[in-house]
Amino acid sequence: MVAAGDFRNGVTIELEGNIYQIIEFQHVKPGKGAAFVRTKLKNIKTGGVVEKTFRPTEKCENAHIDRKEMQYLYSDGDLYHFMDTETYDQIALNEDQIGDSLKFVKENEMVKMMSHKGEVFAVEPPLFVELEITECEPGVKGDTATGATKPCTVETGATLMVPLFVNQGDIIKIDTRTGEYLSRV
């Protein structure tokens, strides 16, 4: 249990059957009346943000989030299969549970599974990945100074914008949080 007076950014709490992460908190002491804690909470499963106020003495249940490293094996249409590399246990998740998180992840790469009380609710890809470009317009020599971009498709099927000098067959580094091109490898 954590008291509202002890809230900090990043703390995860269980409230009304949902799991929230504290994004922002503020202790407010008005001139008249009792003090209170104003918070911005992000629902970890749905991503929605809500604002809620608490009395400083109010207590919330701490929510423990487990992060486990697993290997992404393959996709067979609507199911995605993962394996624990220590115990060799396999789990399958559907497209709703995965969302866009595997957009830049190749088969046999390691990902982090986020779960609460054994229920997996999110898959966290590695921060940076290196992928080969499979489809792209040819680059023109000298097109480096303008900062212009063109669409390209990488080996996982995802599309992103890259500088004009990048060609088909190049291996590029991508930031999976933003989906942006970082550099050629």
pLDDT band (50, 70, 90) for residue 5: confident
Share of the chain above pLDDT 70, in %: 96
Residue 85 vs residue 121, higher pLDDT: 85
Between CA 143 and CA 121 the distance in angstroms is 43
Token pair, residue 176, equals 């999976």
| Residues 6+ positions from 125 with CB-CB distance below 8 Å | 101, 102, 103, 104, 105, 109, 111, 176
Domains of the chain: 2-62 (2.30.30.30), 66-124 (2.40.50.140), 128-184 (2.40.50.140)
At residue 89, does pLDDT exceed 80? yes
Which residues is 92 bridged to in the sheet? Answer: 81
pLDDT band (50, 70, 90) for residue 143: low
pLDDT for the residue 145: 62
At residue 141, does pLDDT exceed 70? no
At residue 144, does pLDDT exceed 80? no
pLDDT for the residue 142: 64
Q: Please, what is the average pLDDT of the chain?
A: 83
At residue 100, does pLDDT exceed 80? no
The side-by-side arrangement of strands in the sheet containing 12-15 is 2-3, 59-62, 12-15, 18-28, 36-43, 49-54
At residue 96, does pLDDT exceed 80? no
- The region of weakest confidence among 66-80, 89-103, 169-183 is 89-103
Between CA 111 and CA 70 the distance in angstroms is 5
At residue 10, does pLDDT exceed 70? yes
pLDDT in tens, 78-88: 888 888 888 88
Q: Output the DSSP codes for 111-164.
A: EEEEEETTEEEEEE--SEEEEEEEEEPPP-TTTTSS--EEEEEETTS-EEEEET
pLDDT band (50, 70, 90) for residue 124: confident
pLDDT in tens, 28-68: 888 888 888 898 998 887 778 899 998 888 888 888 888 88
Share of the chain above pLDDT 90, in %: 1
